[in-house]
Chain A
Amino acid sequence: MPLSKLICGRAIINSAMNPDHGSLITILPGTNRTGEKEGFDRIIIGPGDTLSIVGPTGSGKSAFINDIEVLAQADTITGRKILINGAPPSDDVARDPSKKPIALITQNTRVIADLNVSRFLELHIKARRQTHIKDLITSTIALANEFTGEKLTDSMRMTALSGGQTRALMIADAILIGRTPILLLDEVENAGIFKERVIACVKECKKTVIFVTHDPYLALSTDRRIVMSNGAVVKVLKPGTEEQKMIARVSDIDSFLWNLRERIRAGDLIGDEESIREEIGALA
């Protein structure tokens, strides 16, 4: 999957770059489920930073990005506070989603709107006061189709899209229409979309991205890794050079599995154990 193929026109990416690169997010600690303070003083997330959130199921990963999305002011279950550029967000920014610099793509991103794809995008484009509506609809669908193997079209109904198509469209929408400088992606790997393309695209657009993930490749490929347990942040890791080396290897294993999955999906009979061993062996 050559990454060069995925940039669907330099103009689109340029238009998705935010003129406002200034948004700096500061997370102030809350407490874990037993009421003890979290293991950090403050986490500052600057423009273009990438972070991953890891930890067992139920450890509070989704609650962490939810706090960022709602710009919590000690009014959620965790007690965290979120600052924008060092200060509590204005009511305007916190309350009007079209002014919020953050887009959250949740695990259960479903669309309930009884509209087709182009009408839905058109309404969102208008809500965001963007122009060139037709071109933007076309390029958003094109970008979504770079993220998913099952192509979607403008006349499909939103409710009829598969989970992967919906997630791909919402990510493309956040990049091109919402143009939010900060993206929060909750278990993006589970949607059956091309995660490498998503990563490459958000990096190309210089987005700040926070991944909640169980995927080793995603977790290793970010600048910082936040480890969660019992509802709280217990560690903020900054990977060293050793981990950098691992990324290439994990990427190879990942593409082997990806190819295998594609062959199985296409209905191929996979060779005997030995031939698979050979293929895996080639990775070692």
Chain B
Amino acid sequence: MRALGAILWREYASFFRLPLGWVVVALFLCLSGVFFMDGAVRPGSPATMREFFAVWWGLLLFLAPAVSMRLFSEELRSGTIETMLGAPVSEAVLVAGKYLAGVAFLLTMLAPTLVYVGVLEWLSRPDYGPVASGYLGLVLLGMLYLAVGTLASATTASQTLAFLGTLVVLLMLDVLPRQVAGHLPERAAQTLIAFSPSQRARDFYQGLIDTAHIAYFLLACVWVLAIATVVLQSRRWR
């Protein structure tokens, strides 16, 4: 457990020791702030965050791969992976530590947006239920995106490839089904959309907390991280 904490903390701190972490946070806060000011601080606009969560999903689609791309790729490129695999730590702990550091970074990135909730409170009376569930949906979505990114990062020493690989997978999961669904029979389209993470997250933005959705996100994360662990283990056998 201590090793997990050590890996988590080292990785989390490294986000802020390098410019990349600050750039990602600044980019997210800047763009999310622009969308918020444009949508919420207007006479007659509803006191809800629903639309912003849907827009922030689009930001996560690009920023989550940027966060996860260096988790393993950098270790593979620099050779520090040899030191880490030589330490008495299992690959599962290594993957979990790095992934949780990514999740902690995501939460840090989202934390300042709570100011927007304060602004809504100042302007009108928001319903806090959908706000809380919306944040939950966004965090679950981000966790899945980071898990996919962790897997991509474990497969290559190139951060660029890890970023692009993650982005392609996320686009195939979340954007492609919407484009293709219109051309498919209704049943097939529904099935395809049901696998789309962002589609499931939409229910959270509207204030619906479905345990089936929570189970979907958590199981998907565990499943993807298990594959990342196997990928890392397979390096020993090559």
A binds B: no
